[in-house]
Amino acid sequence: MKLLEKTTLGNLTLKNKMVMSAMTRSRADINGVVGDMTVQYYTQRASAGLIFTEAIRISEEATGSPLTPGIYTPEQIDAWKKVTKAVHDQGGLIVAQLWYTGRAGHSIDRNGKLPLAPSALPIQGAQHFTSQGLKDYETPQEITIAEIKQTIKDYGQAAKNAMEAGFDGVELHAANGYLPSQFLAESANQRTDEYGGSIPNKARFVLEAMQELISTVGGDKVGIKLSPFHPYGNMILDDPAGTYTYLVEELNKLDFAYVELMKRSPYFPSPAHYPADDEIDLFGGMIQQTVIANAGYDEASGEAELEKGIAGLVSFGTLFLANPDLPKRFEVGAELNQPDRATMFGGAAAGYIDYPFLASNE
Ligand SMILES: Cc1cc2nc3c(=O)[nH]c(=O)nc-3n(C[C@H](O)[C@H](O)[C@H](O)COP(=O)(O)O)c2cc1C
């Protein structure tokens, strides 16, 4: 099975082609510090070829949701050291996903401060999970050029901190309607300066953030997650194929390790003017870096995707959440545990570190 074959990514050697995709679990403390349960959660999943952490806030300003971890205070960095050491001790590899939420946040969990976003345009038709329950999205404050420059620097500092914490690399979270993807979408970006208007202007933020990460830690430790046709977070682009084609062509000029390409989900239908093409077929073939295919894969479809030859690896989210020993289960053709939606975000050990492993004789 190709999924279980060894491979390389940047300067890393992976024991299989099964990546655990990033999943927010909202189990950090109020200071954004992860604890022993998180050490155990990731260590249990160390048989993945590579683990992407849950999204990690690069700064206080990056905050959008409660109980999500950060990587900008000494306490946060020290806590991540325990995670990376334990995963490495089990023979695993782990990359930090770097996060800035932008308008997908709420002032309740930002010390009363409105979120910053490309333009003062709120997310429509959805509510945000806050520490005081579900709330309507607020109209964010337009981020200034000085704040954009500071944010780019914060990505670099967070990447440096991730190296200090022992991570094997960093992933720019440019998917799912958070700040980098907000810059690409007309539904969030109506700026008239060099960060809005034309496609090159809208792509500028993502490219500058990537350049900052690459120059800080070296391209072989850097990747990016994109979700071109996924409208989650009210991401509506006038020309999604043209915008992401431009972005991919510009990313091709940079020297880094991989693009994790997340396909749209059947649960979030894209707008009528979007192309029907499969994202891996459409963009994957253009991408110079290694492609990691994501969203909705199981063993058969993941294997088929690798057979097609565009993607070098496949990342699995919910299947890894519910099956700490997913590679083993694929190997022996075992039944899979089903994910429990009620315990995905927040809570304690239940639904976090108590998903059963296969018995050793299975
Ligand atoms: C509980 C949960 C939390 C998630 N949090 C993140 C996140 O922090 N960063 C991210 O890039 N994607 C996040 N995702 C999306 C997953 O990484 C993945 O792209 C998605 O679940 C599709 O893959 P799957 O069909 O294999 O689950 C999350 C998904 C789930 C189920």
DSSP secondary structure, 175-188, as one string: -TTSHHHHHH-TTT
Distance (Å) of CA 323 to CA 179, 191, 283, 335: 31, 44, 30, 10
How many Cα neighbours within 13 Å face the side chain of 56? 30
- Alpha-carbon distance of 29 to 325, in angstroms, equals 27
How many angstroms separate the alpha carbon of residue 343 from the centre of ligand 1? 14
178 is catalytic: yes
Report CA(262)–ligand 1 centroid distance (Å).
Answer: 9
Q: Which residues line ligand 1 (CB under 6 A)?
A: 21-24, 54-55, 97, 173, 175-176, 225, 262, 294-297, 316-319, 344
How many other β-carbons are positioned within 10 Å of the β-carbon of residue 265?
Answer: 15
Q: Which pLDDT does position 273 carry in this prediction?
A: 97
CA of 175 to the centre of ligand 1 (A): 10
CB-CB neighbours of 349 under 10 Å:
12
Tell how far the Cα of 55 is from the centroid of ligand 1, in angstroms. Answer: 9
d(CA 117, CA 101): 9
What number does the ligand 1 atom closest to the CA of 339 have? 31
Mode of pairing for the β-strands spanning 50-57 and 18-20 = parallel
Domain residue spans of the chain: 2-343
Whose C-alpha lies nearest to ligand 1, atom 16? 317
CATH node for 2-343: 3.20.20.70
> What's the Cα-to-Cα distance from 317 to each of 8, 48, 69, rounded to whole Å?
21, 11, 18
As given in the structure block, the two tokens for residue 145 are 């050029």
pLDDT in tens, the chain (362 residues): 999 999 999 999 999 999 999 999 999 999 999 999 999 999 999 999 999 999 999 999 999 999 999 999 999 999 999 999 999 999 999 999 999 999 999 999 999 999 999 999 999 989 999 999 999 999 999 999 999 999 999 999 999 999 999 999 999 999 999 999 999 999 999 999 999 999 999 999 999 999 999 999 999 999 999 999 999 999 999 999 999 999 999 999 999 999 999 999 988 989 999 999 999 999 999 999 999 999 999 999 999 999 999 999 999 999 999 999 999 999 999 999 999 999 999 999 999 999 999 987 56
How do beta strands 94-99 and 170-174 pair?
Answer: parallel
Q: For ligand 1, what atom is nearest to the CA of residue 175?
A: 11
User: Which entry of 178, 258, 297, 352 is annotated as an active-site residue?
Assistant: 178
